[in-house]
Structure 1
Amino acid sequence: MRIIILPAFNGDCILVEFQLSHYILIDGGYVDTYENYLFPTLKEIAARGGELDVVVVTHIDGDHISGIIRMMEDMPIGIREIWYNGYRHIQSVAVTVAEKETFVHRNISKECQVEKAKTISAKQGCTLSALIAKNGISWNTPSKGYTIMAPMTFPLGDAIIHVLSPNNEDIEALESFWKKRLIKDGLLKKAHSEEYWDDAYEFSISKDMPGFHFHEKKVSKSYDLLMLCKEAYEPDSSASNGSSISFVLETEGKRLLFLGDSHAETVVASLRTLYCEEKAPYKFDAVKLSHHGSYNNNSPELFSLIVSDKWLISTNGDKYNHPDMPTLAHIITSGVNNQLYFNYPLPVCQELLKPDYHEGHDFDVIMPEGDKGITITI
């Protein structure tokens, strides 16, 4: 089994070969990510007669969805099915009359500007929802076309998927966020055009800012990792991140945990239900940390429930300077021979190579050798 974490700036683009010639694509990063890294990789797979078994769009955020939209425009490879919770999966009766649709476009569906990374502009028919329909791709088939959410377990070939998030409360929180936006613009209880509302929904939700006070992090020079573990945990309250699809992949005797940008509280509850609380902690062969290693999405309680020796971190450290040192401290001090895999050579990687951090702690920092991300073999 191979996990390829492509360079996606501060976002996610992860290709998993979970069985020989069977692939899951988790998010697509920005358009730059797709054009420079994902497109050539997919063309190579397609040239060998391969296709993507599943594309998982964890949630609506520019650093996860923009590259997927461009991929769906190009279709360089066959896609059997897509898992993505769109407008139709959370919609209420709240919509707008035809004469106000231009207003919706101009005032809600504005282009998401992201420094150093090209994004997709919001325009009718260019949304992910419209492209899924246009390309005739099976959509959320495990849930019979409805919302992908926990608790849910289903087969994927010879593999098994356990959905951990979002749960019903997370979806309700996202709908509440969307309704408040509509109320603010006076657009409730009207008739509507679904394509415009796909646009409005995707591009306004993508601008939902993280609902926490992120750490102004300076890399610790104290080397006191146990002290860092005591830093107060503040949970992320972003509705968009809370709607993130996270899941366990079980195949060929391996168990992998992919956390998207999910809320730790939802994942904790799902893991306890799935594997029984008395059997904790739960062993995983690899864990992709939530929200690029943010301490607001990877709680001490979550770390108390999971054991792994491979931890995957997808970020270039821009925007919020992820990953957070308290997150890494909880991993390093867990008593396991840990391997921290980064898809960019971050300053924190160089810091953690210092001998002082290794006093009493057994861990390795693994960085990419080139500029094409990193591949982990499980």
Structure 2
Amino acid sequence: MKIKFLKASNGDAIYINLLDKNDQPRNILVDGGREATYFDRVRRNGPLKRVIDDIKYRKENIDLLILSHIDNDHIEGFLKWFEQDKKAPDFIKEVWFNSGEAIARYLKKPKNDDLDLFLADGSNVLTGVDEGIEFQKYLEKHNLDRDGIIKAGLEWEGFGLKVNILTPTHKQLENLLEHYQEKTGDIKYTAAGNDWHKNLSDIISEEKNPSFRFRQDRSEKNGSSITLLISYRNKKVLLLADSHPSEVCAALKDFGHSKENAVKVEFMQVSHHGSKANNNKELFELVDTQNYIISTNSSGHGHPHKSVIARIVSKNPKATIYSNYETVANNLLTEQDKADFPQLQVKLISKFQI
């Protein structure tokens, strides 16, 4: 199985290619990244388009497309693809997406209009499509909508994979439906700078102070992320999208994992591009791995935060941090970090093979 982390600006776009039990090729897409991940404004093909074109060239299908949640940095690439490729539905076999409409049906509560996703309405900056078709309506139109929702506790098997869904929980779906309100003037991730000048040792000392309190992300959208523990040929990987750590930790504990019996994975995709509000110390204690993957170019909110790297290295001073952007891989550590943690590595990655 090859897992490729596409350059998706400050978003996520993951391509999984594998052979099933009958040695037939299978293709899975998890999130679509920013618009330019498919096609940028100077009319250049992005990495998502190149992957899709290659799948078409091989006369294969996208066997499963997963949209983890509705943030722009995860959906824009898909919307741009649907806009430009009218034949896209012809080779998408299954879609996992928790639409506002599906959540309302599941909870038997009124629909939240703020959860409608539009391909475009003429003024939408995401795409230039003239039609105002909701994402879910698009799926329904092409018979790609799923009966039911994807939530914690679901176990799915197919293509030689076993997938355990860790989040969202019932409560997180309820929160999304009842409390989410679209903010006017959607944040377009203007540069906020990063904190990479800080030394890991200083951060570790600060967080050992009894006054330190971890503050978890409060975004209903991020909390609704579909997170995946994928098993393939006796090996596992963990994809966390923008999830909240408390619920991921609770799910891992439900599987019997603990600090002494952590889940062993080939790698974990660090939640929310390495945000300090989405990765607590307990999460890293419940996961046994050498490899931590962070997908972002660091534009916008300056992800990854150095406190996340500090929490990783506190658990595993020999960790390898992988980034899909050179600017992160080359600049994340200070000279003091390299002296204090000589076995810690930060590397550039495009794909991971297991």
**For the superposition of Structure 1 and Structure 2, which TM-score range results when normalised by the shorter chain?**
0.7 to 0.9
Residue in 1 that maps onto 2:231: 250
Residue in 1 that maps onto 2:8: 8
Residue in 2 that maps onto 1:49: 59
Task: Note the C-alpha offset of 1:229.
Answer: 4.9
Contact map agreement 2:257 2:286 (CA 8 A) in 1: no
Distance 1:208 1:266 in 2: 26
Q: What do the CA deviations read for 1:11-48 (whole angstroms, capped 9, x no partner)?
A: 11110124362222110012211121111211112211
Q: Name the % identity.
A: 27
**Structure 2 CA distance for partners of 1:206 and 1:45, relative to 1, 3 Å:** farther
**Structure 2 CA distance for partners of 1:356 and 1:10, relative to 1, 3 Å:** closer
Contact map agreement 2:13 2:29 (CA 8 A) in 1: yes
Say yes or no: does 1:93 pair with 2:110: yes
* Counterpart selection for 1:34 from 38, 59, 68: 38
Amino acid in the other structure paired with 1:269: A
TM-score (norm 1): 0.77
TM-score (norm 2): 0.82
Residue in 2 that maps onto 1:275: 256
Say yes or no: does 1:219 pair with 2:196: yes
**Structure 2 CA distance for partners of 1:229 and 1:346, relative to 1, 3 Å:** farther
Task: Note the C-alpha offset of 1:335.
Answer: 3.0
* Counterpart selection for 1:136 from 143, 154, 159: 143
**Structure 2 CA distance for partners of 1:175 and 1:206, relative to 1, 3 Å:** farther
Q: How many residues align?
A: 327
Task: Note the C-alpha offset of 1:275.
Answer: 3.4
Unaligned runs of 5+ in 2: 40-45
Say yes or no: does 1:24 pair with 2:2: no
Residue in 1 that maps onto 2:157: 155
Residue in 1 that maps onto 2:330: 349
* 1:200-349 alignment runs, 5 A limit: 204=182, 217-224=194-201, 226-227=204-205, 229-230=207-208, 232-277=213-258, 280-335=261-316, 337-347=318-328, 349=330
Distance 2:329 2:9 in 1: 16
Distance 2:74 2:157 in 1: 25
Contact map agreement 2:329 2:346 (CA 8 A) in 1: no
Distance 1:242 1:121 in 2: 29
Residue in 2 that maps onto 1:62: 72
Residue in 1 that maps onto 2:94: 81
**Structure 2 CA distance for partners of 1:219 and 1:232, relative to 1, 3 Å:** farther
Unaligned runs of 5+ in 1: 97-103, 114-118, 182-203, 210-214, 369-373
* Counterpart selection for 2:174 from 155, 172, 175: 172
**Structure 2 CA distance for partners of 1:360 and 1:51, relative to 1, 3 Å:** same
Contact map agreement 1:72 1:128 (CA 8 A) in 2: no
Contact map agreement 2:172 2:220 (CA 8 A) in 1: yes
Superposition CA RMSD, Å:
3.1
Amino acid in the other structure paired with 2:352: I
Task: Note the C-alpha offset of 1:346.
Answer: 2.3
